[in-house]
Chain A
Amino acid sequence: MILFIAKRAAQAVLVMLVVALIAFALFRYVGDPINNMVGQDTTFEQRQELRQTLGLNDPFFVQFARFVGHAVQGDFGQSYQLRQPVSELIAQRFPATFELSMVSALMALVIGIPMGVYTALNRKSISSRLFMTLSLVGISLPTFLIGILLILFFGVILRWLPTFGRGEVVQIGWWSTGLLTKSGLESLIMPAITLAIFQMTLIVRLVRAEMLEVLRTDYVKFARARGLKPRTVNFTIALKNTLVPVMTIIGLQVGSIIAFAIITESVFQWPGMGLLFIQAIHQVDIPIMAAYLMLIALIFVIINLIVDILYVVVDPRLRVSGK
């Protein structure tokens, strides 16, 4: 079992190295880093000198190793546009994205999983057919459009909720939270719903599909043939077996919520990492792009690792074969 986890952890490190390579390639080869750092009037000699001191003339692997070394310490250099350390910028923006994503993920899971189970168990009922059609509408609605519609109704027409920003935030150490003020919570409602709807519809459909698959297995049929109560068959046996594959999917979904936050943040001018990233793309601010990529990869890798560990806890087959 420890071997299994260790193997997965080693794979995670490999993934991070690959992503680091991409980030480094971005940093080094897309545009000239020197041009992006110095003004127009810098002479050729000064540029060469800067190039030398920054180590840009060193062999590829030396540069890459230096990049990884710095990245491990959270150092991604200076933003070309904002002239601030990237790590500082990200640290400022991270809490906003994190709070938004977690609230949305919670909404998506708490509504999505029971709904998926319900539609699988009552496959033929009118209400679950309705849910399934509605979930298709949900998948067909682009996130940004949901945001725009919400803004139109609750912001512009009804004027109930604020349409941009985070409202008032409270500073706790370096963390800024919007969860403790009224305006902060009000500001959170629409972005969180926007972000949750797409993920929720996906989760409903995936849970339903997995559960239907499990309901067709021999062991569920055998459980019915033994006269076990429908509740036991559906929840103790079928649901538990459904959750094993669903865990992976949910892990991926939680990760992708953070990425989809880019769109939501841009619709609601939410001051998070996503907004920072999209601005960086507009301005070709490579250090921010590279850092954001690495951070997202790190989050994904951590979530996957957690899912792997959960697998071992839930599935006895892995517990033995991993020994």
Chain B
Amino acid sequence: MSVLLDIDGLKVVFESRHGDVTAARNVCLSIASGEILGVVGESGAGKSTIGNAAMGLLERPGKVAGGTVTLEGERIDGLPPEAMRRLRGAKISMIFQDPLTSLDPLRTIAEQLVTTMTTHLPLSEREARKRAVALMHEVGIPDPEARIDDYPHQFSGGMRQRVVIALALCAEPNVIIADEPTTALDVSIQAQILDLLRKLVRTKGAGMIIITHDMGVIAEIADRVAVMYRGEVVEAGPTRKILGDPDHDYTKSLISAVPRPDVKLDRFPLVEHIESAGSRRSLDLKTHWLGQKRDYGALDGPLLSVRDLEMTFRVGSMFGGGRRSVNAVDGVSFDIAAGETFGLVGESGSGKSTIARLVTGIYQPTGGAIVFAGTDLAGITRRRELNRHRRQMQMIFQDPYSSVNPRKKVGAIVAEPILFHKLAGSRAEVNRIVADLLDHVGLGAKVAGKYPHEFSGGQRQRISIARALATRPRFLICDEPTSALDVSIQAQVLNLLKDLQAELGLTMLFISHDLPVIRQMCDRVAVMRRGRIEEIAPTEDLFERPQNEYTRHLLKLMPKMTGAAA
């Protein structure tokens, strides 16, 4: 096998007013024809930078500060822009993450394909068009003769990604860099696109670098893997070796942080040293404020009972026509017993987040009942009465960047619920409680005077958790609490949630699209699809003996980490 692309000792820096920031250093990678190299790492590891540097597409203030890039025996780093442009598309090409924004909305697929081909290949427009149709067929677009004159918006997301792949391949490059090619797609489509990429690489004898944060994707498609951490390749080798028997500490903890789909573990091991979680100082809850006043009286039956819940959204503009109704939640019923973690799982748009917002009162349901601790919340009209119940349930949100107000200090964010519900006697007491809460979630009391932008995603999620605990709730709703986080941070946050639940005896509604995460967190699970519940079962039963057709379908799509440490 001949080496197609060789990156040797590459160093990339970004110039800033605080001096140069090194995004990648001493990176050595190579790919041969017919081979797929996975580059895996968490956000900020520098993996996309390498792809851009190899393509000559680094944008200022980034620049290559050392090392060589050799394409089919020729050095291409430092080539003049025009020479580099001739190579792009023809010899080395790139597939972008988001198919919805990667295509020119104003030109037909045919126009975009033909321009790209005639730029690089000695073809007439007619020949190019003929090849374009053949290529569309090859990437699996049905009825290519008719569809080639369509505009991008007339294709679905998955089909658009196929068009993007066709565009990247149409001038017959030998090296393809795919930067998170399936991240923006639904699970079911993800698998198809990976199949297509593998098939194309094998039949064309091309080499591909696939850049991803997702171990599942690596396990699925890569022949070899390079693991990146803070700008460096810490370990590289055959996929089976890296996933099954890693040498480097970082790789080990990264793999251990990936939620296991096959077995439930008590905690995620080996994740503590990745991002220092600060000093988590546990409180003596028997004497502390957080542990007090938790006697809500005897509870007969479930803590939360949802009956025939319905939510209809009306979409369309006020004045324009086309106003219609969408049943986001369509007759959903379930019970959650005190102390239990109940999971809601489903693909995007299945209505699971809407349920969270209905239970917490952000939305008003169009039908059905929500009974919390024996009281029907819909029947309460007085604000004070409602607040008394609301205080007992709090929520943790998905996006750590938007779920805390960027204009408020961390201390004020956590203090707000305490002040609003008048849970503490004096300002000094509030401050003490806030400090304790921040300590308890592992941030440390000192952070109270800082603003959210000084924190990473995982730390912000801890702020969010501290705020949720500040009303001393007994019911916690977690809406995709870790889906925006890197896998190692996810493991830490999930560990924290498990600890808190055990200490405080919390009841949880845990919402996620990620089946392995659900398996690690939940006692019982409901599978949702199009606003309805398909199946409710204890977690182990659901994963081992799924009764429902759709559940089985979802479980089949779950990425398997073949060769992962048993």
Contacts and interface: CB of A to CB of B under 8 A. Distances in A.
Interface of A: 3, 7, 11, 217-219, 221-230, 232, 236-237, 240-241, 244, 314-317, 320
Nearest to A317: B153
Nearest to A214: B104
A34 B106 CA distance: 58
B353 interface: no
A226 B168 contact: yes
Nearest to A218: B101
Contact of A232 (B94, B96, B102, B119): B119
B106 A228 contact: no
A225 B115 contact: no
Contacts of A317: 105, 151, 153
B105 A224 contact: no
Interface stretch (B84-92, B333-341, B397-405): B84-92
Contact of A227 (B86, B105, B153): B86
Given A225-B93, A320-B153, A320-B154, A230 B85 contact: yes
B88 A224 contact: yes
A224 B57 contact: yes
B119 A222 contact: no
A218 B116 contact: no
B204 interface: no
B89 A225 contact: yes
Contact of B104 (A3, A225, A227, A241): A241
B119 A237 contact: no
Contact of B96 (A7, A218, A237): A218
B55 A316 contact: no
Interface string B298-323: 00000000000000000000011100
A85 B105 CA distance: 52
Contacts of A316: 105-106, 108, 151, 153
B120 interface: yes
B89 A226 contact: yes
A208 B93 CA distance: 29
Contacts of A314: 106
A236 B118 CA distance: 14
A222 B93 CA distance: 9
A225 B55 contact: yes
B291 to A, nearest CB: 50
A237 B107 contact: yes
Interface of B: 55, 57, 85-90, 93-94, 96, 98, 101-108, 115-116, 119-120, 151, 153-154, 164, 167-168, 171, 319-321
Contacts of B153: 316-317, 320
B167 A226 contact: yes
Most buried by B among A232, A315, A316, A317: A316
Nearest to B119: A228
30 contacts: A11-B319, A219-B104, A222-B94, A222-B96, A222-B102, A224-B85, A225-B88, A225-B94, A226-B89, A226-B93, A226-B94, A226-B116, A226-B168, A227-B85, A227-B86, A227-B90, A227-B93, A227-B116, A227-B171, A228-B116, A229-B85, A232-B115, A244-B106, A314-B106, A315-B106, A316-B105, A316-B106, A316-B108, A316-B151, A316-B153
A226 B86 CA distance: 9
B57 A221 contact: yes
B88 A226 contact: yes
A305 B94 CA distance: 42
A232 B171 CA distance: 16
Contacts of A236: 107, 115
A229 B93 CA distance: 15
Contacts of A228: 89, 115-116, 119
Contacts of B168: 225-226
Given A236-B115, A316-B106, 18 more contacts: A3-B321, A218-B96, A219-B101, A219-B105, A221-B96, A222-B94, A222-B103, A223-B104, A225-B57, A225-B89, A225-B93, A225-B168, A226-B168, A227-B90, A227-B93, A228-B115, A237-B107, A240-B107
Closest 6 CB pairs of A and B: A227-B89, A227-B88, A226-B89, A218-B101, A225-B94, A316-B151
Contacts of B57: 221, 224-225
A285 B337 CA distance: 78
B167 A7 contact: no
Contacts of B98: 218
B89 A241 contact: no
Contacts of B105: 219, 241, 315-317
A95 B148 CA distance: 50
Nearest to A7: B320
A237 B104 contact: yes
Contacts of B55: 225
A210 B483 CA distance: 34
A219 B115 CA distance: 14
Contacts of A221: 57, 96
Contacts of A217: 101
Nearest to A222: B102
B132 to A, nearest CB: 13
A80 to B, nearest CB: 39
A221 B179 CA distance: 13
A220 B115 CA distance: 14
Contacts of A240: 106-107
Nearest to A237: B104
B102 A219 contact: yes
Given A227-B87, A314-B106, A222 B116 contact: no
A137 to B, nearest CB: 28
A8 to B, nearest CB: 11
A266 B94 CA distance: 59
A223 B120 CA distance: 13
A3 B320 CA distance: 10
B454 to A, nearest CB: 27
A96 to B, nearest CB: 38
Most buried by B among A3, A222, A237: A222
Contacts of A219: 101-105
A320 B89 CA distance: 31
